[in-house]
Amino acid sequence: MKILVVKMSALGDVIHALPVLRYIRQLHPDADIDWVVEDPFAPVLAGHPDIHEILTVRTKYWRTLPTMTMLGKALKFIRRLRRDHYDVVLDLQGNSKSGLFTLMSRADKKFGFDRHQVREWPNILATNHRVALDEGEHHIAQRALAVARAAFPGGENVPQAGPLPVDAAARQRVIEQLAEHHIHHPLVIFHYGTTWETKLWNVACWQQLACQLIEVFGITPVLTWGNEAERTAAEAVREATSGRALLWPRGTLPELVALLEQADVVVGGDTGPIHIAAAVGTATVSLFRVTDAERNGPAGPEHRRLQSPLPCAMCLRKHCDRDEQCSRSIPVDEVISAIGDLLPMQSEAAPADERESYAGNH
């Protein structure tokens, strides 16, 4: 059987869709499962033992090209897509872009969301099996699994996060870097950045959190970043600790996955690294403002999801006049308390390199 998963972006959403692979594999262990993903996020899927082939697209880049060149790139990819006659396509994105590739595939059965759940209505024109969601399928990972269950009924429940492979060479590089910086367990990582300004926790709060982590637990926080704006914020947090916090050098996406696997707790907003951490079995404290913690946040006893208490939270706005107030609305003390809850649990768990990991032998 040949199966195509269409989940193209963003990084966190791609990670949320990973349980679909485990679900399908238990029913069809010999199936070839391909995945369509945007090029920047392909490295996080590389080497996944449940993926037969990763089909990458560069739609953001294509849109910068002259019209005929753009069409040529798209048609070349569509010809590649149609080379294999898929039995089933799962469109887990639900927008017009994913709908185009779902429609152009040669699959007889094309599964996606119904008209109430798609992100963009033209998507429903691409599918011939449209899945309605019930109230219990609120979390984004559960939404993806609902489509998989409709296509392949009868499977057992699977974990809501991961599994995600960790590249062995990247893991070794990270372990060596941690040793060079004299960073030992417990390892707590802070990731300030997110894709939206209105998802960010205030820098002053991060500064207070870093200082309290050092003073209360004697732990040196490791600060990760993904672009220059995030680096500037991370540097401000480091300065507030008189240089005691460690600004981690930016590496490859596989190296970030490996670093997050080594951590005991990762703290961040609604952002890809938080979801990666959960997928590799690391405890998380996630901070939610304009998005819904219960829909997007890592779930389970090893995770703490903190939602802004403002009545207008979960507004999904990318710009807001109350941004300053909202960015400070999650108290630092609550975050410290959540970290304190999780650290004893992690000390009793196996070390990162001994955790049961789908990717442990990758």
Structural domain ending residue among the three candidates 89, 121, 151: 151
**Number of residues written out for the chain:** 362
- Judge residue 319's burial from the number of C-beta atoms within 10 Å of its C-beta, 0-12 exposed, 13-18 middle, 19 or more buried: exposed
- Listed in sequence order, the residues at least 6 apart from 228 whose beta carbon sits closer than 8 Å to its beta carbon are none
**What's the whole-number average pLDDT of the chain?**
94
Same domain, 195 and 283: yes
Same domain, 260 and 304: yes
* Helical pair 96-104 and 67-83, crossing angle rounded to 10 deg: 50
pLDDT band for position 345 (cuts 50, 70, 90): confident
Looking at the domain assignment, is residue 161 inside a domain? no
332: helix, strand or coil: helix
Same domain, 138 and 83: yes
Total structural domains in the chain? 2
Higher-scoring residue by pLDDT: 359, 294: 294
- State the pLDDT at residue 317: 95
Distance CA 30, CA 246 (A): 45
- State the pLDDT at residue 58: 96
Distance CA 105, CA 3 (A): 11
Looking at the domain assignment, is residue 156 inside a domain? no
* pTM value surpassing 0.85: yes
Looking at the domain assignment, is residue 57 inside a domain? yes
Query: pLDDT per residue over 186-240, tens digit each?
Result: 999 999 999 899 999 999 999 999 999 999 999 999 999 999 999 999 999 999 9
Same domain, 196 and 146: no
Q: Which domain holds residue 67?
A: 2-151
- Helix or strand run (H / E) with residue 113: strand 109-113
Q: How far from chain centre, in Å, is Cα 212?
A: 27
- State the pLDDT at residue 135: 82
Q: How far from chain centre, in Å, is Cα 255?
A: 15
Distance CA 66, CA 46 (A): 31
Starting from the edge strand earliest in sequence, which strands make up the sheet with 283-288, in order? 246-247, 222-224, 188-191, 265-268, 283-288, 303-307
Structural domain ending residue among the three candidates 119, 151, 183: 151
- State the pLDDT at residue 243: 96
pLDDT at 349 over 90: no
Structural domain ending residue among the three candidates 93, 119, 151: 151
Same domain, 131 and 198: no
270: helix, strand or coil: coil
Looking at the domain assignment, is residue 237 inside a domain? yes
CATH number at residue 213: 3.40.50.2000
Same domain, 349 and 214: yes
pLDDT band for position 264 (cuts 50, 70, 90): very high
